[in-house]
Amino acid sequence: MREGDTIVALSTGSLPSGVAVIRLSGPATPGIIRELRGVLPKPRTLHLTRFRFKDEVLDSGLLVFFPAPNSFTGEDCAELQVHGSPAVVRAILRALTDEPGVRLAEAGEFTRRAFENGKLDLTEVEGLGDLLEAETESQRRQAVARAAGGLSTKLGGWRETLLDLRAEIEARLDFSDEGDVTDDLPADFAMALATLRGELAAAIESVTRGRIVREGVRVALAGAPNAGKSSLLNALAKSELAIVTDEPGTTRDVRDVAIDLSGQLVVMVDMAGLRETDSKAEAEGVRRARAELEIADLVLWLEAPDGEPATIPATEAPIWRVATKSDLGVAAGDLAISTRTGDGLDALTARLTSFAQELAGQGEPALVSRERDRQGLEAALFEVDAAIAGLEVSEFTAEHLRLAGVALERLLGRIDTEMVLDRLFSAFCIGK
C-alpha cells in the first residue's frame, strides 16, 4: 500500500556538500530511530548519533525526530543530517530502503503528504513550489507570502463573508411564505456584497502583476532580418548564446533568456526577422515570431541604418523603437544602441528595469499569479455578480453565493484536486 509506505530521500542539493539532509516520513520512522538510538529521542531536538546499520557505522551525524502530527508532513518524520559525500548518502539511503516498508520518495511526495494531511492547502503548496524555483528577490517575496498562507487567509475571509450572507438569506427564507425576503435583509447586506465584489475584482486585477513577477516580463526582440536582434540578446545575456552572422535570416527558432534586472525577472525573446521568404524553415520561424509578438509584454522594434525597411507589426503590447548599430549612423527611434561599442545599452537596460518594476508594482507582493487563480476568482466574481443582479429573488441569491464559495474552495484545493496535484507535484524535485 503506497500511502502506508515510509518514504525516504535526500532533501538537500547536489553532492558533495558540507552536510546532507536525509528525510524520512511514515510509520516505520519510530522503529528505525529506536534501532539507531535505542530509545526515541526527545522530539524536535537534534542528537549526535552514530548511524549504525547491521553492526556497521555508516556515518555519525545529527538525528531529529518529529512525531506525528507535529511535522512537515503530519506523519512521523525524521531527519538524518550526515556528511555530504555521495558514498555516505548512497550507503544510508540503501540501508534505510532495506528496512521493511521503506522506499525512495517520488518527486514532491513529502509535500503531497503534507497536503493530504491538511498541513498545507493547495495555494500554499503552489507557493512552496514557487519558492523553490525563485531566482529573483521579487519572486522570493511573492512566493513566501503565498507559501505562508497569505492567499489562504484572504480566501478564508471571503468564504466567511459568503457564509454569513447566505445565512442571512436562509434564516429569512425559513420564515417566509412567498420566498421574497429582500425587504427584510439588513441594510448593510447589499453593501457587504458590493465590498466583496470589489475585493474579488481587485484580486483579479493583481493576477497580471503576480504573473509578471513569477514568469518575468516578456520582451520580444523584433525587426527585419539582420537588424541586430541576436546581437542584442547576447549583449544583454552577456554570453554568445545566439548565432550571429551577416546573413539575413540567421535566426529561426525562438530563444528566450531570463535576466535579473534589479531583482525583477525579464525574459528577452530572440526570434526570426520578419519578412516574406521562400525558405520553409525561415517561414516557420517568422510564424513563431509573430505568435511571440501576441504574448509579449513589450516589443522592442529594432531598425538598423543599413537595414531593409519593414513595417512595424500591430500588437497589443507597447512598442519601443530601437535604432541599432549606432556606430554606423543613427536611424530614427526612441533609443539608439550599438552592441559593437556598447553605446546606449545601459540606457536601454535602465528603461527596461523601470518598465519591469512598474508592471510588477511596488509594495505588497501579489498573492495571485496563476491562470488557475484568475479562473477561480473570475468564477467567484461571476456568481457574486449574479447574486447582486438577482437580489430580489432570494433563493437564487443564496445559490449564487454558495457557488461563489465553491469556486473559492476549488482554489484552496478542497475539491477537484487530482489533475492539478499531479501536474504540480511532478514539477517538484525529489526530497521535497
Distance CA 33, CA 29 (A): 6
Least distance between ligand FFO and beta carbon 117 (Å): 9
226 is in an annotated binding site: yes
Task: Compute the radius of gyration of the chain from its Cα atoms.
Answer: 28
230 binds Mg ion (CB under 5 A): yes
**Angle value at C-alpha 175, between 172 and 179, nearest 5 degrees:** 70
16 is in an annotated binding site: no
226 binds ligand GTP (CB under 6 A): yes
276 binds ligand GTP (CB under 6 A): no
338 binds ligand GTP (CB under 6 A): yes
Please compute, for residue 344, the number of CA atoms within 13 A of its CA located in the half-sphere on the CB side.
16
405 is in an annotated binding site: no
Q: Which residue has the cell 548565432?
A: 243
Q: Which residue has the cell 447566505?
A: 166
Distance CA 213, CA 211 (A): 5
Q: Which does 66 bind (CB under 5 to 8 A by kind): Mg ion, ligand GTP, ligand FFO, none?
A: ligand FFO
95-97-102-106 Cα dihedral, nearest 10 degrees: 140
Judged by beta carbon, residue 218 or residue 229, the one nearer Mg ion is 229
172 is in an annotated binding site: no
Distance CA 229, CA 339 (A): 10
Amino acid identity for residue 163 in this structure: L
Contact range with Mg ion by CB under 5 A, out of 162-170, 210-218, 230-238, 345-353: 230-238
385 is in an annotated binding site: no
Least distance between ligand FFO and beta carbon 274 (Å): 47
Q: Which residue is nearest to ligand FFO (CB)?
A: 70
- Residue closest to 326 by CA, chosen among 343, 307, 302: 343
27 is in an annotated binding site: no
Q: 327: which 3 cell numbers? A: 556606430
Q: 332: which 3 cell numbers? A: 530614427
Least distance between ligand GTP and beta carbon 215 (Å): 24
325 is in an annotated binding site: no
Helices (H), 176-329: 189-215, 229-237, 280-295
The percent helix, strand, coil of the chain (3-state, each to 5) is 45, 20, 35
The end-to-end CA distance of the chain, in Å, is 21
Binding residue count for ligand GTP, defined by CB under 6 A: 24
Q: Contacting ligand GTP (CB under 6 A), which of 87, 328, 393, 429?
A: 328
101 binds ligand GTP (CB under 6 A): no
249 is in an annotated binding site: yes
- DSSP 3-state assignment of 381? helix
Residues lying near ligand FFO in the complex (CB under 6 A) are found at: 21, 66, 69-72, 79, 119
Instruction: Fill in the per-residue mask, 251 to 270: x = in contact with Mg ion (CB under 5 A), - = not in contact.
Output: x-------------------
Annotated binding residues: 23, 79, 119, 226-231, 245-251, 432
> What are the binding residues for GTP?
226-231, 245-251
Annotated binding site for (6S)-5-formyl-5,6,7,8-tetrahydrofolate: 23, 79, 119, 432
Binding site for Mg(2+), by residue number, is 230, 251
Residues lying near ligand GTP in the complex (CB under 6 A): 223, 225-231, 244-246, 248-251, 272-273, 324-325, 327-328, 338-340
